[in-house]
Amino acid sequence: MSQRVLRMGMIGGGRGAFIGAVHRVAAALDHEAALTAGCFSSDPDRSRASGRDLGVPGARVYGTWRDMLDRETRLPPGDRIDFVTIVTPNAAHYEPALAFIEAGFHIACDKPLVTTSAQAARLIAAAERSGSIALVTYNYSGYPMVKEARHRVRSGGLGPIRRVVVEYNQGWLATNLEASGQKQASWRVDPARAGAGGAIGDIGSHAEQLLSYVTGLEIESLCADLGAFVPGRALDDDAAMLLRFRPQGGVQARGLLLASQVEIGHENDLRLRVHGERGSLEWRQEEPNALTLRIGDMPEQVLRRGNGYLSPAAQQAGRIPPGHPEGFLEAFANVYRGFFRAVRACGDPAPGASTIVSGQIAPGAPWRVAPETCDFPGLLDGARGVRFIERAVASAASAEKWTAFDGA
Amino acid sequence: MSQRVLRMGMIGGGRGAFIGAVHRVAAALDHEAALTAGCFSSDPDRSRASGRDLGVPGARVYGTWRDMLDRETRLPPGDRIDFVTIVTPNAAHYEPALAFIEAGFHIACDKPLVTTSAQAARLIAAAERSGSIALVTYNYSGYPMVKEARHRVRSGGLGPIRRVVVEYNQGWLATNLEASGQKQASWRVDPARAGAGGAIGDIGSHAEQLLSYVTGLEIESLCADLGAFVPGRALDDDAAMLLRFRPQGGVQARGLLLASQVEIGHENDLRLRVHGERGSLEWRQEEPNALTLRIGDMPEQVLRRGNGYLSPAAQQAGRIPPGHPEGFLEAFANVYRGFFRAVRACGDPAPGASTIVSGQIAPGAPWRVAPETCDFPGLLDGARGVRFIERAVASAASAEKWTAFDGA
Amino acid sequence: MSQRVLRMGMIGGGRGAFIGAVHRVAAALDHEAALTAGCFSSDPDRSRASGRDLGVPGARVYGTWRDMLDRETRLPPGDRIDFVTIVTPNAAHYEPALAFIEAGFHIACDKPLVTTSAQAARLIAAAERSGSIALVTYNYSGYPMVKEARHRVRSGGLGPIRRVVVEYNQGWLATNLEASGQKQASWRVDPARAGAGGAIGDIGSHAEQLLSYVTGLEIESLCADLGAFVPGRALDDDAAMLLRFRPQGGVQARGLLLASQVEIGHENDLRLRVHGERGSLEWRQEEPNALTLRIGDMPEQVLRRGNGYLSPAAQQAGRIPPGHPEGFLEAFANVYRGFFRAVRACGDPAPGASTIVSGQIAPGAPWRVAPETCDFPGLLDGARGVRFIERAVASAASAEKWTAFDGA
Amino acid sequence: MSQRVLRMGMIGGGRGAFIGAVHRVAAALDHEAALTAGCFSSDPDRSRASGRDLGVPGARVYGTWRDMLDRETRLPPGDRIDFVTIVTPNAAHYEPALAFIEAGFHIACDKPLVTTSAQAARLIAAAERSGSIALVTYNYSGYPMVKEARHRVRSGGLGPIRRVVVEYNQGWLATNLEASGQKQASWRVDPARAGAGGAIGDIGSHAEQLLSYVTGLEIESLCADLGAFVPGRALDDDAAMLLRFRPQGGVQARGLLLASQVEIGHENDLRLRVHGERGSLEWRQEEPNALTLRIGDMPEQVLRRGNGYLSPAAQQAGRIPPGHPEGFLEAFANVYRGFFRAVRACGDPAPGASTIVSGQIAPGAPWRVAPETCDFPGLLDGARGVRFIERAVASAASAEKWTAFDGA
């Protein structure tokens, strides 16, 4: 099962960045991809310095992403990058994503995908035309026990869902960190770079995707309260909302979503609880190797990663035996792994690959791999996430209780 | 410090009841009170049978509470009951509470106090006239670590409060338990006996009182979503809401409150998190001997009951050394203990005791005890809790986002 | 089911004592017994003062236990105490225990029962003669989830037992607390009052009884290391040992026992783990309402007090619904509850009650109660605990690896 | 800070192996090394197949480790491997380790290093001569919070150490798994491949190294009980022992060590508790991002990976922000990272590098890196671990209580 090592390009992620390094380690963890080219900064000198740090040959380090696109396109197919990872601040995703998709490259883009629903729609349309595969790195859905949670809900073990509670608790923005020039804080609180959402965009969108991934529920309407507790902030640093979902199985589920960055001492405390007619489950990102299951009037069960009683999807998403903790990087690598399967399935990018739908390989086409193993968040998740942010912001400004998810 | 054992009367709490037994154990735990009289059921035969079970002399077991009031009033002061505990279903609190207060007895009443704000106001007015002391058994505020949480917030250790999350998760009503005739379920889902609130009244009001007790925040407006997931229920079995509080220290805090009885496998899972500008805290009723504190960028601290580093209020609320778990009954006994201090302070009930304000001893009067040691929930908490239920129900029926707490 | 309230006498437990108050609350928790008489201190003035605090009539407060014995014996059977609780320091248990047993009173005695095996044997012989019922308050076996653990092991759910780990971790004696005159510390470190064991006697004997109660395993030989870390201590403050048990089901189980009082920050951290051929279990006293069960290759289960899936013994040992934490006092009350059932079963104490064996009611006799519901630790447990201390001390002084439990 | 990617060779770790894959991922995680050559199986065909799976060029895949040594030695220094990782069963470590060290290669060897102390001594002597750097992958010492624990103990924050408890609880060998031919089980229970220790060698030696790494305590004598619960096993599957350490700071610490592979449901449950005169700490491998600290009479603190309050050693051992769980692979990568620093520091291997002592760079020599940053377990740890197994086995066979660690 030796496979060709895929060639990875990167836009952003230079010195001082956090998520760029995560993408590089995650993509390479299983020795399926190697960083080959990049434009690591909007400042060409910084880009070159970062390229040197990372061992990328000077000829493949570019000063602008346009230059990178132009020159990589002209390389022979056996040399050029297979995909490009975009890890710039949110507002700088759209242009390179569109251009690389239109040129037939596959892309991996950090979340939120773009800053408007209209942009998201144009990316989807472009991917339909070019046949590009697109990953949006909602990485938390890569955890094995999240896949088990999904399996349990989707296979009906909990019965129709009634109540969902999803929280993303952080505290690192409880003080005016951006005033110190801290790089991560600075762009996230700036509407010009982050888009219309603060906490709701940065972490609320992860929460939305996690609940959607696990439950399959679709938000029908929402009622949001967004606030900025740290004086001077233009964007929310704390968001809460009530949710109502489209009925499934005759039941209209209700939800609570909390996404706050001012809860001191909470590090990266993403939690999900799902309650159905027959049982409930609970998962916490900070102890990701466990999943608590409560069925009927039976004793609580704690499922742990790596065991034979788990679903195939959960088992295959792990790498090492039970009790050997896996963490954030492995989960991140899992979303890449699904993406790589799709990339390999569709061959080198070619215009007109009609069986690529919305950036993912379509079920039913004669792939050598099972499409369900190409389990990764993509453009549809990205587009839904952008709409989620838009509607949350709209709801927060509205005096009406419920704001329709699909409204204008 | 030998003290007279107070004479306790009881209305309700006969065979098959849950909370009546809790009141009896809690009130007697410290050997400060003894059950002396009672009308334990609306059925005189059941009342007598329960009285026999409980060792109450036949002459002090009554067939109706009116008979009990009439005959106890005529006993010499040294024989008659000192206070009456009312543990009937919610809708049957008001009439005996009013009558006993008007007759100058002290009362202890289960929550919610009554079913309308107007009733609550009349009880307060009556208590002002008669000088009765009144306990409303919001028992969760009796836990030592809740008292520590209160101390930490009230003394400013967390800074001005920004976000509060309070949840009361239960699962015991996830099925149609009332159809089986289960006594606890039957009256709680019946508007004629429970009042206008289902989960919001039964447990949501505990959640409201807990956050109020710890933080001192006052709800300014709320936005509620109440639902009944089990078919056929007239009252909510699941309630969620957004909260906004009156500004304190220049900050307007926001809150989330969840009270659900359909979350399978959750037993009595009341949790509180409070986030301020300088730190945050977390407490869970099911592990009540711990309180988690997170201050600034220091390591998380886990405070445990019984230790010398706790506030006097928390220390005095415990009975045994650290590591010897205390639980529900001890906390329940603590609210009685505060009540007993007030009862003892004010002497035998006498009309016109002008220093009794709203059923509690007033600061400033020449008591032998420090009024702050008479720390127990009373009529004002009870009245606020009734209003909370009313406004939650009103908000749930409204298309407007925010419903004022003090509106009509 | 109204029952006569039993009359309780007490020796020791005056002002400043800890465990005396626990006994009083525990014995009275279910309204089955009431403190009626006592000799609360070896100092008659202190005894009287304590009696006043506790509301005991002056005529029933005695200056010496001999005086108490003498005068209670002469009271009419309907007035005299039913049983006496002995809560003096260890070395002061034997004499009153023997005298009261010989006089036909039932007794409840704190652990360790006495300070030598010979004394224990004489108490057993006396109880055989007099028909007294005797409780030794190994209170930790009163926890409902300990009873569930016992049920799981005894009913074979774990298969033959292989390995047992029992620990009792405390830190309160990590410093030279006795130098400050602290009452609890002072007698426990004094061989004249505590006996030959320090930590091994005070808490190690609890650990031994817990493992014995749950597993039924009998220690065949042990290999102990006892130490005193705080300079100047004559008794151990830290004890560890290897254990080998008599074979059961063809398997010779092995054990580890740790009992330390110098582990800073550990409060009352008693833990038990039992591993069998088919599964294992784990229980911790500081979170006593849960029991973790791991069977074969199934997911871990967490059983919680109060649920219908528990054994009858565990269910009946609880008082309130699941999720309402019960703690130390309720467990302590449970050992009294079993004792009271036996006391009631055997009627008023009478010499020659031949169906009382070693201080417990014997199976097979025509009792109105099922003997298995009189589940409480008694003289045999007490005697075994004394031997355990003796053999641990002997092993610690020996250069041989294994010291037989039954050796001389 | 771009660095040359080191060339890694591997002996063992072919198809079906567990730990080989861990070594490959861990060594490559930070892009500091790349698998370049290997002899992946004692079966040449399997070796070649594994090489293809792993993307190693055919010319660098060898049929025997001797062939690999021979041919790599003849490659130009700029092409040949920098180090070889040995991941064969225990008994097959010694010969290749010795040969590669003698040839001047650096080595990374799985634990236990070899099967006799004499072998270990010869490896050390060889490394002294050749100047090879040697890593023994006691990977658990790579966890950031283990480094914090070490820092806390070594810097005196806990005071002189009194009691240590280290446990390694596993359950995967509770049944006769080797009968099924499971590869991991088969060699571990076979003295010819595993050496004289079963559980004591496989996991007990990890426990010993963890306590040694954190505390610096040296075992003076031990008293072991080794057993085999699964019928037919020649080696122990369950081991427990008492420990006494050489006095430090005037205190002779005592320890307990438990290493069992028959505890059903325990996955990889390595735990350490250290108790000193001023405080104590606790760490568990299955929740490795936390460290519990209990100092004096202060509240318990929970330290978490990634925070600014940690020591530099702990901070530098992490890769991602707090709350983003790191796990087993990152810790494993950390021991490689320290090894790589040493390898880079000493330049290409050259005979006579006199400042390499026992396979590690010696403090005091003019290195460009601080020797303390080359923090990795090496030959001395490996040799001590082998002796630990030998002495445990000797003690288990002895009727004397204490077996000296340094005895014959």
Give the pLDDT confidence of A355-393 residue by residue, as tens digits. 788 888 877 666 667 777 789 999 999 999 999 999 999
Mutation pick from C294, C302, C305, C311 vs chain A, by most beta carbons of A within 10 Å, is: C302
Asked if B230 has any chain A CB less than 8 Å from its own CB, the reply is no
Predicted confidence band of residue B126 (pLDDT cuts 50, 70, 90): very high
Verify cis geometry, omega within 30 degrees of 0, for the bond prior to C112: yes
Q: Which residues of B touch A295 (CB under 8 A)?
A: 264-265
Contact state of A2 with D54 under an 8 Å Cβ cutoff: yes
D280: closest CA of chain B, how far (Å): 15
Answer whether D309 sits within 8 Å of B298, measured CB to CB: yes
All residues of chain A having their beta carbon less than 8 Å from the beta carbon of residue D137 are none
Task: Find the CB nearest A303 among C299, C304, C308.
Answer: C299
Residue A284 at interface with chain D, using a CB cutoff of 8 Å:
no
> Which residues of B196-345 form beta strands (DSSP E)?
219-227, 238-245, 254-260, 269-276, 279-284, 290-295, 300-304
Residues 6+ apart with CB under 8 A from B70: none
- C11, C23, C33, C40 from C52: Cα distances, Å: 15, 17, 19, 11
Q: What's the confidence (pLDDT) of residue C336?
A: 98
Instruction: Count CA atoms closer than 13 A to D126's CA, side-chain side.
Output: 22
Q: Which pLDDT does position D352 carry in this prediction?
A: 42
D31 - beta bridge partners? none
Residues of chain C contacting residue D401, judged by C-beta atoms under 8 Å apart: 223, 398-401
Q: Does residue D226 register a pLDDT over 90?
A: yes
Distance from CA of D322 to the nearest CA of A (A): 6
Joined together, the tokens standing for residue D406 give 């340094």
* Confidence band of B349 (pLDDT split at 50, 70, 90): very low
Long-range contacts of A71-75 (CB under 8 A, 24+ apart): A72/A9, A72/A37, A72/A105, A73/A103
Whether B322 and C29 lie within 8 Å, measured CB to CB: no
Return the pLDDT at D15: 83
Please indicate if any CB of chain B lies within 8 Å of the CB of C230.
no
- Residue A280: pLDDT over 70: yes
Q: Using 50, 70 and 90 to split pLDDT, how confident is the model at A279?
A: very high
For the segment D31-57, the average pLDDT, to the nearest whole number, is 93
The sign of the torsion formed by the CA atoms of B54, B58, B62, B67 equals: negative
Dihedrals phi, psi of D404, to nearest 5 degrees: -65, 140
Q: Which chains are within 8 Å of B by 3+ CB pairs? A: A, C, D
Summarize the confidence of residues C244-256 as an average pLDDT: 97
User: Nearest-CA residue of chain A relative to D184?
Assistant: A321
User: Quick one: closest CA in B to D299, which residue?
Assistant: B303
Task: Identify the closest residue of chain B to A299 by CA–CA distance.
Answer: B265
Place of tokens 């085999």: D228
- Answer whether A284 touches B (CB < 8 Å): no
Residue pairs spanning A and B at CB distance below 8 A: 114
pLDDT at D187: 85
Residue-range domains of chain D with CATH: 6-140+330-386 (3.40.50.720), 143-321 (3.30.360.10)
- Tell me the pTM: 0.96
pLDDT in tens, B25-57: 999 999 999 999 999 998 899 999 999 999 999
Answer yes or no: do C320 and B28 touch at CB < 8 A.
no
CA distance A336 to chain B (A): 34
Cα-Cα-Cα-Cα dihedral sign, residues D154, D159, D163, D169: negative
Residue linked to tokens 């880079």: D344
Interface test with D, best of C165, C173, C222, C275 (most D CBs within 10 A): C275
What are the chain C neighbours of D398 within 8 Å (beta carbons)? 401
* Tokens at C126, concatenated: 């006396």
Q: Does D99 touch chain A (CB under 8 A)?
A: no
The answer to whether A297 contacts C303, with C-beta atoms less than 8 Å apart, is no
Give, rounded to a whole angstrom, the gap between the first and last alpha carbons of chain B.
49
- Cα angle D71-D74-D80, degrees, rounded to a multiple of 5: 80
Of A297, A302, A308, the CB nearest to C302: A302
Six token digits for residue C10: 């007490």
Does residue A326 sit at the D interface (CB-CB below 8 Å)?
yes
Q: What is the ipTM of this complex?
A: 0.95
- Nearest alpha-carbon partner for A78 in A36, A116, A40, A120: A36
Which of C264, C266, C275 lies at the smallest CB-CB distance from D264? C275
Please check the confidence at residue D240 and state whether its pLDDT lies above 60. Answer: yes
d(CA B34, CA B7): 5
Testing the interface with D: which of B287, B295, B302, B304 to mutate, by most D Cβ within 10 A?
B302
Q: How far is D147 from chain C (nearest CA, A)?
A: 21
Q: Which helix (H) or strand (E) holds B404?
A: strand B403-404
* Res B350 pLDDT > 50: no
Considering only CB atoms, which chain A residues are within 8 Å of B273? 263
Cβ contact, residue pair B256, A251, below 8 Å: no
| Residue B17 identity (one-letter amino acid) | A
- Strand-pairing partners, residue D3, are none
What DSSP character marks residue A148?
Answer: H
**A touches which chains (3+ CB pairs under 8 A)?**
B, C, D
Find the closest chain D residue to A22 by CA distance. Answer: D320
For residue D245, name the pLDDT band (cuts at 50, 70, 90): very high
Cross-chain CB nearest to C162 (options D229, D277, D399): D229
- For B256, list phi and psi in degrees, rounded to 5: -125, 135
User: Does C55 reach chain B within 8 Å, measured CB to CB?
Assistant: yes
Question: CB contacts < 8 Å between B and D, how many?
Answer: 34
Which chain B residue lies closest to A266 (C-alpha atoms)? Answer: B294
Does the beta carbon of D204 lie under 8 angstroms from any beta carbon of chain C?
no
A323/D28 touch (CB, cutoff 8 Å), yes or no: no
CA atoms of B121 and B382, how far apart (whole Å): 10
Taking all residues of chain B, what is their mean pLDDT, rounded to a whole number? Answer: 93
Give yes or no for B399 touching A (CB within 8 A).
yes
Contact state of C240 with D227 under an 8 Å Cβ cutoff = no
When pLDDT is averaged across residues C340-349 and rounded to a whole number, the result is 77
Closest residue to C264, CB basis, from D227, D240, D280: D280
**Residue D10 in this model has a pLDDT that exceeds 60:** yes
CA nearest B295 in D: which residue? D301
Q: Are A262 and B162 in contact (CB under 8 A)?
A: yes
Q: Are C273 and C165 in contact (CB under 8 A)?
A: yes
Tens-place pLDDT, residues A200-242: 999 999 999 999 999 999 999 999 999 999 999 999 999 999 9
Chains contacting D (3 or more CB pairs within 8 Å): A, B, C
pLDDT, greater one: A267 or A349: A267
The tens digit of pLDDT for each residue in C41-95 reads 988 999 999 999 999 999 999 999 999 999 999 999 999 999 999 999 999 999 9
Chain C: closest CA distance from residue D309 (Å): 21
**pLDDT tier at B376, thresholds 50, 70, 90:** very high
Q: How many Å lie between the alpha carbon of B280 and the closest alpha carbon of chain C?
A: 23
Nearest-by-Cβ selection for A280 from B238, B265, B398: B265
Nearest residue to B378 via CA among B47, B130, B82, B132:
B132
